[in-house]
Structure 1
Amino acid sequence: MGSDPTGRYRVNVDAIDDNRQTSLPATFNFRDVGGCLGHGDRPVRRGRLFRSDSLHRLTEQDRDAFVAIGIRTVIDLRRPTEVQRDGRVPAYQGLTYHNIHPEHDDWAGVPHDEGASLARYLADRYADLAQTGTAGLGEAVGLIADSANAPVVVHCVAGKDRTGIVCALTLAVLGVDDAQITADYALSSEGSARYSAWLVAINPDGVDVPAPFLASPAEAMQLFLDELREGHGSVEAYLRHAGVTDEQLAALRDHLLAEPGGA
């Protein structure tokens, strides 16, 4: 991240709930999205919405840990070609699987210039995705809004970009403060570090992963949210544009927000 004399984009560690991390050994970036305060000081319920990197590495040995978490629905945001290449989450009994690809250009076509702002680069990629992948983002949030689907886990490859956008939009609708939304997004840097170490371990000859694929600077998500609101008036207005109904927005708040003092 570039210089930030105002401190606006620094991650507030006090905004991060230490209890969010969930043990799922086959993943690098799996965590509970609950714990933040939303509208009316109502906390986002734990155990309802999770985010993760790709779940294709889960095996039968991971079944007990996954089942213990209680996931009913998997929303896989990867491209169909990524699913074909790597595979999908195992078809555990009672698990519903959705592959929803928010249309977007391959980042390889718009490489990040070394020395340029990484946060600006990522925010621009997120803005592009929000424009071309509107229907997919709306479909994903609509599935999260249906309490019958919970608990839900949303994932992509690294669990930070496409997943980060869906979770940020969801938390914003719930009234979570931007400082907490961006802090949750920035946590993916830790997951990316674990993922990078794993890649090095399984590729003795080395692996070159571009910086944008591993970094999650809080400033990037803040820029994205600020500019989305400038363009649409509010996150809710953007989601309505994406096909999410007022009834779904209300349902999202009803089942993901606990009463004050609850969890």
Structure 2
Amino acid sequence: MGRGPAGRYRVDVDAIEVNRRIPFSAMFNFRDVGGYPGHDGRTVRWGRLYRSDSPHRLDGADLEAFTALGIRTVIDLRRPSEVERDGRVPEQDGLAYRHIHPEHVDWGERPYRQGEDLPRYLADRYADLADTGAAGLAEAVGLIADETNAPVLVHCVAGKDRTGLVCGLTLAALGVSDAEIAADYALSTEAAAQFQAWFASTGQQMRAGLPPLTTPATAMTLFLTELRQRYGTVADYLRRAGLTDAQLTALREHLLE
């Protein structure tokens, strides 16, 4: 049993799945990453770590609802060009903005081809990002590990790939099972359909060569399995990327209850 972001008690998995999402009219993939079982029978705390698509569209009632969550730190994983194109989360008193760009090859240089194995394609792109963007990914997890930054929101453009990796690595370091991590990652599929409908309504078109905006659970499972084959554990990968043992301990101390 865990306490949800609004103080309600979650008593079963179905309740968690129903209440995990926090609805906004201008964001489609905003949700709490709490509630999952981790190390030593402890549970990831609600209301400490959120994930979403880009919050640059927040205004009016959406901005009021966002403010009410008490988020202290926003970690923006987008490319500099994406930040320049769309803008950033609206400035607010007490809200720290951190832009971290995990270096990675533009997916247009390794285009998805129709009929290609999507989970395999995504897992390979995530492995590439884990290699070239290791320092940025570790920096993001390090910010999440610092209790003074919480609550934290992590986002990219659609909130599924770069955000999915940072949240997946964080949950793995907290001892959450691969099955639970993959299930959380897969929740972005429904939101991605809403994001795509909004994107189309703006008159913009998706770039050629991008994969479908879906998040098959197998992609995350493959990524985590193969990351461990290369590095031993997710914690070992994060250490090699620059995270300290003290940060890993702090992550577990304040995100697990």
TM-score (norm 1): 0.89
| Mapped partners of 2:26, 2:141: distance in 1 | 26
Mapping 1:218-237, distance limit 5 Å: 218-237=217-236
Cα drift, residue 60 of structure 1: 4.6
Residue 121 of structure 2: aligned partner: 121
Cα drift, residue 126 of structure 1: 0.3
Q: 2:79 is matched by which residue type in structure 1?
A: R
Mapping 1:204-219, distance limit 5 Å: 207-208=205-206, 212-219=211-218
Q: How many residues align?
A: 244
Q: 1:134 is matched by which residue type in structure 2?
A: A
Could you say what secondary structure the match of 1:17 adopts? helix
The question of whether the paired residues in 2 share the 8 Å contact of 1:17 and 1:36 is answered with no
Q: 1:207 is matched by which residue type in structure 2?
A: Q
| Mapped partners of 1:207, 1:245: distance in 2 | 42
| Mapped partners of 1:61, 1:159: distance in 2 | 21
Residue 255 of structure 2: aligned partner: 256
Residue 172 of structure 1: aligned partner: 172
Cα drift, residue 61 of structure 1: 4.3
| Mapped partners of 1:115, 1:23: distance in 2 | 33
| Mapped partners of 1:98, 1:247: distance in 2 | 21
Cα drift, residue 211 of structure 1: 5.8
Task: Specify whether residues 150 and 213 from structure 1 end up closer, same or farther in structure 2 by C-alpha distance, changes over 3 A only.
Answer: farther
Residue 241 of structure 1: aligned partner: 240
Q: Deviations over 1:11-58 (max 9, x none)?
A: xx8696322111222101000000111112211000000000011111
Cα drift, residue 213 of structure 1: 5.0
Q: 1:135 is matched by which residue type in structure 2?
A: A
Q: State whether structure 2 residue 107 is matched by structure 1 residue 107.
A: yes
Q: Deviations over 1:197-222 (max 9, x none)?
A: 1122232xx73465625110001000
The question of whether the paired residues in 1 share the 8 Å contact of 2:111 and 2:210 is answered with no
| Mapped partners of 1:182, 1:238: distance in 2 | 18
Residue 193 of structure 1: aligned partner: 193
The question of whether the paired residues in 2 share the 8 Å contact of 1:50 and 1:154 is answered with yes
TM-score (norm 2): 0.91
| Mapped partners of 2:230, 2:174: distance in 1 | 20
| Mapped partners of 1:22, 1:52: distance in 2 | 10
Mapping 1:1-263, distance limit 5 Å: 17-203=17-203, 207-208=205-206, 212-258=211-257
The question of whether the paired residues in 2 share the 8 Å contact of 1:15 and 1:183 is answered with no
Task: Specify whether residues 207 and 81 from structure 1 end up closer, same or farther in structure 2 by C-alpha distance, changes over 3 A only.
Answer: closer
Cα drift, residue 169 of structure 1: 0.3
Q: 1:221 is matched by which residue type in structure 2?
A: M
Unaligned runs of 5+ in 1: 1-12, 259-263
Unaligned runs of 5+ in 2: 1-12
| Mapped partners of 1:170, 1:127: distance in 2 | 16
Higher relative contact order (CA 8 A, sep 6+): 1
Could you say what secondary structure the match of 2:113 adopts? coil
The question of whether the paired residues in 2 share the 8 Å contact of 1:123 and 1:223 is answered with yes
The question of whether the paired residues in 2 share the 8 Å contact of 1:16 and 1:183 is answered with no
Over the matched positions of the two proteins, sequence identity in percent amounts to 64
| Mapped partners of 2:123, 2:220: distance in 1 | 6
Q: 1:49 is matched by which residue type in structure 2?
A: L
Q: Deviations over 1:96-135 (max 9, x none)?
A: 0000000000000001121110110000000000000010
The question of whether the paired residues in 2 share the 8 Å contact of 1:17 and 1:35 is answered with no
**Aligned-pair Cα RMSD in Å:** 1.6
| Mapped partners of 2:15, 2:93: distance in 1 | 36
